[in-house]
Structure 1
């Protein structure tokens, strides 16, 4: 592998890893919102906001890395 392809692989690995990390953080934040532990201006947040954040987090954690990896896959040589 060349130096340029190594750098590209490192950037892509970092992108996939950070996507999974952000997804996990969204899931945790969503569960906290569902529980009602955070308040905005003294009012508890709506639990549906937490559900939406969890669903976005699951998509970021499980689906998006697969989509990116498939898009970045090297073409098969014949």
Structure 2
């Protein structure tokens, strides 16, 4: 693996982890809103939590698949 490939792999690894952390942050924010800790309507919190879960579970595999198809 040359230096450019290693740099690209590190960048992609960081992006995958940032996507997961962003999803986790949305889930936690949604739960805080739904529980009444943050003064917003509970349905807003549930929607944010669901979007965060979707981001956490589905965005990293989609990014990886896109990168694999782009490397060919």
State the structure with more CA Rg: 1
1:64 aligns with 2:59: yes
Q: What RMSD over aligned residues (CA atoms) do the two structures have, in Å?
A: 0.9
Q: Number of residues paired by the alignment? A: 70
Structure 2 distance, partners of 1:6, 1:20, is 21
Structure 2 distance, partners of 1:5, 1:38, is 44
- Give the TM-score taking structure 2 as reference length: 0.91
Q: Which has the higher helix share?
A: 2
- List gaps (5 residues or longer) in structure 1: 40-44
- Give the TM-score taking structure 1 as reference length: 0.84
- List gaps (5 residues or longer) in structure 2: none
C-alpha distance after superposition, 1:14-46 (max 9, x if no partner): 00000001111110110010001112xxxxx11
Q: Which has the higher strand share?
A: 1
Structure 2 distance, partners of 1:38, 1:68, is 32
